[in-house]
Amino acid sequence: MMPSSVDRTISAAVFVLAVFLLLSLFFTRSTMPIEMRVPGMDGTPRVLVTANRLPYEATVAGEPVVGTGVASQIKGEWPGFRGPNRDGVCPDSIPLARSWPASGPPLRWEVAMCEGYASPAVRDGRVYVLDYDEAAEADVLRCLSLDDGREIWSNGYPVAVTRNHGITRTVPVLFEDCVITLGPQCHLACWDAVTGANRWLMDLRAQYQTTVPRWYAGQCPLIDQGKLIVAPGDAALMVAIRPESGEVLWRAENPRGWEMTHGSIAVMQHAGRRTYVYCGSGGVVGVDATDGSVLWDTTQWPVQFAHAPSPVILPDGRVFVCSGYGNDTGALILRVDESGTHVSVERKFTPKEFNSEQQTPILFERHLFGIRKRGGGPMVCMDIDGKEIWNSGRDRFGHGPYLIADGLLFMMSNFGELTIAEADASGYRRLASHLVFEDGHDAWGPMAIVDGNLLLRDMTRLVCLNVAAKTPEKSEDSL
């Protein structure tokens, strides 16, 4: 039977309506605003909306929970972010292995962690790492034994945090008998290093109206000349605090209204002045260490989207800053004049020359060593003026961390492969590599090393490897 004219009319109308709906759906989807890695746009909750909402309830720390761990007899230390001198270089004289067996360096222990990148500080055989307990909804400082990873004690305070490209990001800093931590939602706290008792707790959001960075706090607190230095942003660009009591000693004004970034503060000695150098949300600033007065600042550093690496202090009043999000600028060398009060741009780097999204380059023997984001993450060696000398070629590390110890570069890839090479400006020479984390990913947490014990983490695990050189066994003839 042939269709009637009415049937044909209905069919045509249905066809036109279907085409209209398909076109509407297509154009509606194609015009949705998509932002790269913005909280909430990738399926993660928009937790920062509530994180930055006033007023805040007073947060009270709990009591320590004692575990079965015992402090190691190892006395070396890694007292905070980037080590004893905050430069990514281990000053220990412990000889380290230049080669590994097929099974890799011996694994001493492994501990499960909440998702994140927070890494440890170490002293007196104790490993301190700020973790998060999702079930209890609490930041938790864990004190582990360097011998076996067993928990000596833990303590924390309640705070709601939801996974957003991980949760934890900071490294504690040790001062005398104190441990200082900065939590994801900007809670600054002081703990007794032996017992775990909380001494004081400060919410920077309530105290200084601090805006929590888009992926939570990544700034690692600084101890300098007996003072705790942090950069809250908003109501105070920077503050100096007495570590023992939490008393505020001075605060730097913030006339430009800069906010906190993920970067940490560096110490600069130049022109007879001690200066704290920091990359805020609007540029780079130098603050007088004695009274908090702003000595200089520049808005010529384009902080785009986010900023994580810390400034690197070069000789002769120069500062190297870098990031990984700019399309035109990957890094700058700034120069502070002889008065210590004016700054200018000495050199601008394109992202192809150098950029870094996560990690801070290392100044070692008048050369800069750093993993460049562009090109998949090769290690790059540059001279003091930023001229590239060599790169690691096919050895790529993504956003992974690195440090230098016993003349060796320790480099971790995104997925948890550890590589060692000579920290030598004459060329890149890989000595050994080993996959530390099976199914590893986002292994971005800063490394720590104490007496040949290398502490590494990926998104959910903290491990301790023995990378010390083997001591030759004495023969019977030598006895």
The pLDDT of residue 316 is 96
The pLDDT of residue 302 is 80
Confidence of residue 55 (pLDDT cuts 50, 70, 90): low
Report the percent of the chain where pLDDT is more than 90: 83
Give the whole-angstrom CA distance, residue 418 versus residue 103. 12
The pLDDT of residue 226 is 97
pLDDT at 474 exceeding the cut of 80: no
pLDDT at 469 exceeding the cut of 80: yes
pLDDT at 47 exceeding the cut of 80: no
pLDDT at 9 exceeding the cut of 70: no
Task: Tell me which residue of 154, 158, 152, 141 sits closest to 65, measured CA to CA.
Answer: 154
Max mean pLDDT among 2-6, 301-305, 460-464 falls in: 460-464
What average pLDDT score do residues 22-38 get? Answer: 35
The pLDDT of residue 38 is 36
pLDDT at 428 exceeding the cut of 90: yes
What average pLDDT score do residues 320-347 get? Answer: 95
Q: How confident is the model over 175-187, as pLDDT tens digits?
A: 999 999 999 999 9
Question: What are the structural domain ranges in the chain?
Answer: 47-469
Contact 205, 226 (CB under 8 A): no
The pLDDT of residue 472 is 60
Contact 462, 454 (CB under 8 A): no
Contact 83, 90 (CB under 8 A): yes
pLDDT at 460 exceeding the cut of 80: yes
The pLDDT of residue 454 is 98
Confidence of residue 37 (pLDDT cuts 50, 70, 90): very low
| pTM, full prediction | 0.88
- Burial of 307: CB neighbours in 10 Å, binned 0-12, 13-18, 19+: buried
SS3 331: strand
Q: State how beta strands 312-314 and 318-322 pair.
A: antiparallel
Confidence of residue 54 (pLDDT cuts 50, 70, 90): low
pLDDT at 30 exceeding the cut of 70: no
Confidence of residue 35 (pLDDT cuts 50, 70, 90): very low
pLDDT at 31 exceeding the cut of 90: no
Contact 156, 224 (CB under 8 A): no
pLDDT at 367 exceeding the cut of 70: yes
The pLDDT of residue 10 is 43
The pLDDT of residue 75 is 87
Q: How confident is the model over 236-283, as pLDDT tens digits?
A: 999 999 999 999 999 999 999 999 999 999 999 999 999 999 999 999
Give the whole-angstrom CA distance, residue 327 versus residue 369. 22
pLDDT at 471 exceeding the cut of 90: no
- Return the structure tokens found at 167: 């949760």
47-469 belongs to CATH 2.140.10.10: yes
User: What are the b/e assignments for 205-233, b being 16+ CB within 10 Å?
Assistant: bbbbebbbbbbbbbbbbbbbeebbbbbbb
The pLDDT of residue 424 is 97
Mean pLDDT computed over every residue of the chain: 89
